Amino acid sequence: MAYTDVREYTHLNDDEVAEIGRELDRIRADVEASRGDADAAYVRRVITLQRRLAAAGRITLLASRYPPAWLLGTAMLGSAKILENMEIGHNVMHGQWDWMNDPEVHSSSWEWDTAQPAEQWKHSHNYIHHQFTNVIGHDNDIGYGILRMTRDQKWHPVNLGQPVYNTLLALLFQWGVALHDLDIEAIRKRRKDPRLLAKQLGQIRDKVGRQVLKDYVVYPALTGPYFMRTIAANASANLMRNVWSYLIIFCGHFPDGAVHFTEEELEDETRAEWYLRQMLGSANFEGGRFLHLMSGQLGYQIEHHLFPDLPSNRYAEISVQVRDLCARYDIPYTTGPLHRQYGQVLRTIMKMTLPDRFTSHDPAPEPPRKARRRRLSDDERQGRRLELGHWSRSASA
């Protein structure tokens, strides 16, 4: 069930909550003060690696009449797309590298290799998701408006199709994300500003057009007689990226131990309580350096939610301090192997397919106090935290 008070859930008093906030602020300050050439060199190395990998993949596809060359080229291209989305695009658009003052590696200028326009992603992800993490009715990432992920979401017969929806979401992840910021509920209930809707649809049309032109016309044409093989390779690479992105994101938010909250938690929420909600609402997974690189360091999802704008290459060292802090204050620190985390996610998706009476013999929890259940407009929401990044949001084109 969703909780209304992180202090009550963690059994901490006001002084302890405040001290946790101060310790996390100190961790942030220490990392900010120590950012430097080594961090800048890291992100530039990853960008160079990604671009060389993509180029090598496309060159290899020139020999795609031979199956080994096609497989190798597709694998390199898919890996390059994963790197660009996870370790580069996602983190650059969070503002993790803005301190470098490099106009080419900056949250205001980066446009990533996926169907959703960067401006819309920065709004739906940086602000909506990171500000209101796991708050029922506020965070649209809870099931992405498609899946029922908690008993606090009312069951409907349409949820019987969740196994199918989940499979389609994984396979078509970039296209689902492309529509994520439109706010389908507001459109359905005719609360969406028509000017803003027109602008967003125009942005999506233009971005999707560029992606389709690049992957399914221009690059295949460059391979001449292997046009169709290259289309198949590009489609396979995009599929690799879609499924991997879905897997990593779901494992960071929906395993056992990732707690949901009611909107009452937002009332007079302090910075320290916001920190606690990020720690309780996120989940890590374990693995080696290569796994963390290919997942955009989101195996450290807890640390990412605490410090979304700090350089991703620092999350491993930050995690040692955060884990120690959790141990000292007896705060849950949810982590486990990737396969186990996704197994728990999949089990939840399957259980939430059915009405509650078929999946649990426990007494039904008392429903939380009814409050606003519609998604608020930006004007009605709390002011955003500066570390969540910047975006433009104007209805005019």
pLDDT, tens digit, 9 for 90 and up, residues 155-212:
999 999 999 999 999 999 999 999 988 887 788 888 888 999 999 999 999 999 999 9
Contacts of 46-49 spanning 24+ positions with Cβ under 8 A: 46/83, 46/87, 46/88, 46/293, 47/88, 47/105, 49/83
Q: How far apart are the C-alpha atoms of 187 and 211, rounded to whole Å?
A: 25
Which tens digit of pLDDT belongs to each residue from 42-57? 999 999 999 999 999 9
395 located within any domain = no
Terminal Cα-to-Cα distance of the chain (whole angstroms): 42
Q: How far apart are the C-alpha atoms of 296 and 313, rounded to whole Å?
A: 9
Note the helical H segments in 179-226.
184-188, 194-213, 219-222
The model carries a pTM of 0.89
pLDDT of amino acid 392: 47
Secondary structure (3-state) at 7: helix
Phi then psi dihedrals of residue 228, to 5 deg = -70, -35
In terms of residue numbers, what domain contains 358?
6-388
In the DSSP assignment, the letter for residue 287 is -
In the DSSP assignment, the letter for residue 261 is B
**Interior angle at CA 234, CA 229 and CA 238, nearest 5:** 150
Instruction: Find the mean pLDDT for residues 131-145.
Output: 87
393 located within any domain = no
384 located within any domain = yes
1 located within any domain = no
The residue type at 42 = Y
In the DSSP assignment, the letter for residue 156 is -
Lowest mean pLDDT among 92-96, 196-200, 295-299, 391-395: 391-395
Residue 378: pLDDT band with limits 50, 70, 90: low
- Residue 351: CB atoms within 10 A of its CB come to 16
pLDDT of amino acid 387: 57
394 located within any domain = no
Q: How far apart are the C-alpha atoms of 258 and 302, rounded to whole Å?
A: 10
| Number of domains comprising the chain | 1
3-state helix, strand, coil in the chain (%, to 5): 65, 0, 35
Residue 369: pLDDT band with limits 50, 70, 90: very low
396 located within any domain = no
Q: 390 near 108, Cβ under 8 Å? A: yes
pLDDT of amino acid 389: 53
310 located within any domain = yes
Q: How far apart are the C-alpha atoms of 292 and 193, rounded to whole Å?
A: 40
